[in-house]
Amino acid sequence: MKRFAQLLELLALTPSRTRKLAALTQYFREIPDPDRGFALAVLTGALTFRNVKPALLKDIVLREVDPTLFAMSYDYVGDLGETIALIWPHHGQQSDLPSLTDLIELFNMTSKAELPKLIAALLTQAGINERWAVVKLATGALRIGVSARLAKTALADMSGKDLQEIEEVWHGLKVPYLDLFAWLDGKAERPHVDQSARFHPLMLSNPIDEEKDLGRFDPKDFSAEWKWDGIRVQLVLGDGTVSLFSRTGDDIANAFPDIVENAQGVAVLDGELLVGKDFEPGSFNDLQQRLNKKVASAKHLKDSPAFIRVYDILFDGREDVRTLEWTERRRRLEAWLKANPQTRLDISEVLPFADWDDLAAQRRQGADEHGHEGVMIKLRGSPYVPGRPKGYWFKWKRDPNVVDAVLMYAQRGHGKRSSFYSDYTFGVWKGNEIVPIGKAYFGFTDEELKLLDKWIRANTLQAFGPVREVKKELVFEVAFDSAQESTRHKSGVALRFPRISRIRWDKPASEAATLADMAVFVAAS
Amino acid sequence: MATQVLDRNLHIRAIDAYIDPSVPRERAIITHGHADHARSGHGSVLATPDTIAIMKVRYGEDCAGRFEALDFGVPLKIDDVTITFFPAGHVLGSAQVLVESQGQRVVVTGDYKRLPDRTSQPYELVKCDLLVTEATFGLPVFQHPHPKLEIARLLKSVADQPERSHLVGSYALGKAQRVIGLLRDAGWDAPIYLHGAMIRLCELYEELGVPLGDLRPATGTVKAEMAGQIVIAPPSAIRDRWSRRFPDPVVCQASGWMSVKQRARQALVELPLVISDHCDWSELQQTIHETEAKSVWVTHGREDALVYWCRTQGLQAEPLNIQSFEDDGGEGAEE
């Protein structure tokens, strides 16, 4: 347990991704089975205890600590787990705690009535850092800045295996992953998992390079569709089982019962999750509202029904069709939808086009009249390949909108950039004041970053912790995909994918955009 | 009763003297040199010789109209009031003030710690009727580990990552010298590098008889040669531009606040070192019991929790709510 506690602490406090990866890799290499497998389960959130809950831990502490003092302490610390770890008043002979494996076994085997005694004994026996780790383990809320993806990347680094290969089998594996580690160590074959009933890593697109690509591509070899502004999902339909995965493989089925309850058939489908009535997509904001809820409310289900606009099929029934060409998969998809009538699925229509100029015109028109993000271009002969293979799928986004905005606040970055002001809030004129419309990170050369950092320090009006308010004098050219109404911002406008395209050292702030200028962009989306 | 000796602004009415006043006063008694206790501009200052030396270095030779030095343990009688200083163990020269008048004993602790520290005179317990205690770490979540363990963690990190330099954020008065002293005790004989803001006070400590070993300015060093070295700097400098001159620095911070990991994370501290110059929760409780005080006033910190606890012990207790100006970046005054 000591070693695992050290790992958690290092992960929590190291801002550098590279260093986190190195620590994880080293841990998985040095620690034997099954401890490392249980650690992997904890880090990827695959482990929960039926009877060990935050409320139970709080009860245990309140038997030992005055409730008023506990409340004052919790108020100060702000994190329940950490408060418990810090406030625990008994410190016994600090001997080694059980191994991670034994500890998890103890949590699972101990009856509800006996758990408080067990946990109290562990807290007393532990040193401060292990106590923190035990509480984190028991409450399940790690908050240490490690994603499941990062943990899997460490497995790939450790073994020299491809991350994609690990992702392929991941969702069919069981804790503590003995077969996975045996394969990673080169001692066994890759674990066999039922290929149809689990998450399959998605095929992603590359941005098109108009000058280079369009000149050499024959339009006849490609098919086009609108690029939908929802979230990418994978719908896995088994016999009576339905899973809905996000692009990273998180199961989001609970938030979308309207889809889960109405889907039927057996297949693995790829598409875009959207909300809106009668298959008419609403704004991304509406979708965001539903995504923010772990469980959908009745009002959401009624006002913002969800549907999936499907555009590919990975398994037709139980048959893996990923190696077939896109044209054949498209035919299979259309046939499958015909054979399995759906109320919450429709198909992403194919856009006929004569040549690239024609498609460019449609793309522009779609952006102006319907707010489409752009078009997707897919090679007709392409198989379905996980990851971001070159030469198959392309996104051709509409030209970004740009606006000249004024820098308002600057904040320090993280990790390598923690000494630089590299995160910016900018705004536009509303009468005589500047109101914020968005926030973006710096995306330029180190040289420019240094200049900007210097300007911010020299023009600070006041500092609030890591944030500085600056003189409203520096103009940024900000590019963004679209603008939407927002009640969250004082300006009433929110930008999608804002990025700073240029620093306009030359431009006076008085010539920056106004809120009225923004209305045009909002109307277009 | 006791309130006739001292009022809630720490004003000794009989002799019109204030203890650690936050605005300029004609007559001030200063417990120690930190900015939230010692300010410039008083008419006269009564303090220990070390505290006077520290004030002169920080604020200038003429930062008070007049200085009167009083050694530890020597009673000074002014009219009907007797003032005696006892070591508080917080920083060099830090004193608790015993005020005796009309048969009452009142102790104002200033900031204090109970653990031995070779850069400060060791704390002495003073029995009293009314105790005015600080409560910087007055919550039961504060249970300071032994500083030796924390320094061992620092040295292990230095050994494990010889290609990086370690930047230890420490307040310039007290904490910096304490960390240096702890490093020397742990056998770290190599040069320790100092941010400019640290140099003068370290020199003063040495002049006042606290040896700190080989100290060098960090400014003007060659980046590559700083790998594996330890640098002491103010907390505000360790994440700022100043830190860019060191190779891939490990940001450390030595402070009692560092026990809360989420706080350390938010402050981008990679190696938090829980080294405090204040009592932790159990030491505050221990002190209140041992002084045998019947009344307790609580100031400077988390007054509410300690006042609440005193009352559960059957003691009279009240918060003072003296305005304190927080010095460097929010989380508490210098400590």
Enumerate the β-bridge partners of residue B191. none
Rounded to the nearest 10°, the torsion over CA A54, A37, A9, B180 is 150
Residue whose tokens read 């054949």: A328
Task: Output the 3-class SS for A387-416.
Answer: ECCCCCEEEEECCCEEEEEEEEEEEECCHH
CA-based nearest distance A25→chain B, Å: 16
Model confidence pLDDT, tens digit, residues A303-362: 899 999 999 999 999 899 999 999 999 999 999 999 999 999 999 999 999 999 999 999
Which residues, at least 6 apart from B259, have a Cβ–Cβ distance to it below 8 Å?
A: A86, A128, B141, B142, B143, B144, B272, B274
CA-based nearest distance A360→chain B, Å: 47
Q: What is the mean pLDDT of residues A255-268?
A: 92
pLDDT at B330 over 70: no
Do A206-397 and A401-524 show the same overall fold? no
Residues of chain B neighbouring A86 (CB-CB closer than 8 A): 141-143, 259-260
CA-based nearest distance A11→chain B, Å: 10
Q: Indicate the pLDDT class of residue A237, thresholds 50, 70 and 90.
A: very high
- Alpha-carbon distance of B97 to B86, in angstroms, equals 7
β-bridge pairing A222-226 and A319-320? unpaired
Residues of chain A neighbouring B301 (CB-CB closer than 8 A): none
Helices vs. strands in chain A: H and E counts, helices first: 20, 19
Model confidence pLDDT, tens digit, residues A370-401: 888 899 999 999 999 988 889 999 999 888 88
Higher pLDDT, B76 or A162: B76
The pLDDT of residue B206 = 97
Q: Indicate the pLDDT class of residue A124, thresholds 50, 70 and 90.
A: very high
Mark yes or no for CB contact B143/A86 under 8 Å: yes
- Contact A64/B at CB under 8 A: no
What is the domain partition of chain A in residue ranges? 206-397, 401-524
- Alpha-carbon distance of A31 to A41, in angstroms, equals 14
Tokens of A525: 């989306």
Mark yes or no for CB contact A15/B272 under 8 Å: no
Tell me the percentage of chain A whose pLDDT exceeds 70.
Answer: 97
Q: Coil, helix or strand for B205?
A: helix
Mark yes or no for CB contact A13/B309 under 8 Å: no
CB A404 within 8 A of CB A477: yes
The pLDDT of residue A148 = 85
Mark yes or no for CB contact A86/B142 under 8 Å: yes
Mark yes or no for CB contact A132/B261 under 8 Å: yes
- A37: phi then psi, degrees, rounded to nearest 5: -70, -40
The pLDDT of residue A196 = 65
Rounded to the nearest 10°, the torsion over CA A220, A223, A224, A229 is -160
Mark yes or no for CB contact B308/A87 under 8 Å: no
- Contact B143/A at CB under 8 A: yes
The pLDDT of residue B94 = 98
Shortest CA distance to B238 belongs to which of B259, B215, B260, B255?
B255
Tokens of A137: 């383990």
β-bridge pairing B271-273 and B104-108? unpaired
The pLDDT of residue B1 = 44
Top-level class of domain A401-524: mainly beta
AA identity, residue A82 = E
- Contact B62/A at CB under 8 A: no
Higher pLDDT, A397 or A233: A233
Nearest to A15 among B270, B302, B309 (CB): B270
Model confidence pLDDT, tens digit, residues B211-236: 999 999 999 889 999 999 999 999 98
Compare all CA atoms of chain B with the CA of A84 and give the residue at the minimum distance. B141
Strands of B192-194's sheet, edge to edge?
B215-217, B192-194, B230-233, B166-169, B250-254, B271-273
CA-based nearest distance A34→chain B, Å: 27
Nearest to B140 among A9, A69, A145 (CB): A69
The pLDDT of residue A254 = 84
Tokens of B110: 């200033």
Residues of chain A neighbouring B268 (CB-CB closer than 8 A): 15, 414, 418
Q: What is the mean pLDDT of residues A518-524?
A: 78
Q: Look at chain A and count its residues.
A: 525
- Contact B305/A at CB under 8 A: yes
Q: Coil, helix or strand for B169?
A: strand
Tokens of A306: 């969800």
- Could you give the C-alpha distances from B230 to B269, B271, B335, in angstroms and in order? 15, 13, 21
For A206-397, CATH number out of 2.60.120.10, 3.60.21.10, 3.30.470.30, 3.10.20.90 equals: 3.30.470.30
Residues of chain B neighbouring A468 (CB-CB closer than 8 A): none
Q: Indicate the pLDDT class of residue B329, thresholds 50, 70 and 90.
A: very low
CA A66 to chain CA centroid, nearest Å: 40
List the single range of A110-114, A472-476, B171-175, B181-185 with lowest mean pLDDT: A110-114
Compare all CA atoms of chain A with the CA of B272 and give the residue at the minimum distance. A13
Locate CATH 3.40.50 in chain B. 147-273
Q: What is the mean pLDDT of residues B146-152?
A: 96
Average model confidence (pLDDT) for chain B? 93
Model confidence pLDDT, tens digit, residues B105-143: 999 999 999 999 999 999 999 999 999 999 999 999 999
Active site residues of A: 227
Q: Indicate the pLDDT class of residue B321, thresholds 50, 70 and 90.
A: confident
Average model confidence (pLDDT) for chain A? 89
Q: Indicate the pLDDT class of residue A203, thresholds 50, 70 and 90.
A: very high
Locate CATH 3.60.15.10 in chain B. 2-141+277-319
- Contact A9/B at CB under 8 A: yes
Residues of chain B neighbouring A453 (CB-CB closer than 8 A): 241
Q: Which own/partner contact pairs does A299-305 have at CB distance under 8 Å and 24+ positions apart?
A: A301/A257, A301/A258, A304/A275, A304/A276, A305/A258, A305/A275, A305/A276, A305/A277, A305/A344
Tokens of A399: 């030209």
Higher pLDDT, A292 or B45: B45
β-bridge pairing B11-12 and B17-19? antiparallel
- Alpha-carbon distance of A297 to A256, in angstroms, equals 10
- Could you give the C-alpha distances from A8 to A11, A26, A416, in angstroms and in order? 5, 13, 21
Helices (H), A409-514: 446-458
Q: Indicate the pLDDT class of residue A481, thresholds 50, 70 and 90.
A: confident
CATH number of the B147-273 domain: 3.40.50
Which residues, at least 6 apart from B267, have a Cβ–Cβ distance to it below 8 Å?
A: B239, B253, B331
List, as one string, the DSSP characters of A449-470: HHHHHHHHHHTEEEEETTEEEE
Which residues, at least 6 apart from A333, have a Cβ–Cβ distance to it below 8 Å?
A: A269, A310, A311, A312, A313, A347
Model confidence pLDDT, tens digit, residues A436-449: 999 888 666 778 88
Q: Coil, helix or strand for B206?
A: helix
The pLDDT of residue B327 = 34
The pLDDT of residue A415 = 59
- Alpha-carbon distance of A7 to A387, in angstroms, equals 30
Q: Is the CATH number 3.60.15.10 carried by domain B2-141+277-319?
A: yes
Q: What is the mean pLDDT of residues B68-82?
A: 97
pLDDT at A300 over 70: yes
List the single range of A8-12, A105-109, A488-492, B270-274 with lowest mean pLDDT: A488-492
- Could you give the C-alpha distances from A390 to A204, A379, A383, A387, in angstroms and in order? 9, 11, 12, 10
Mark yes or no for CB contact B140/A65 under 8 Å: yes
The pLDDT of residue B326 = 39
Compare all CA atoms of chain B with the CA of A9 and give the residue at the minimum distance. B261
Mark yes or no for CB contact B330/A465 under 8 Å: yes
pLDDT at B49 over 90: yes
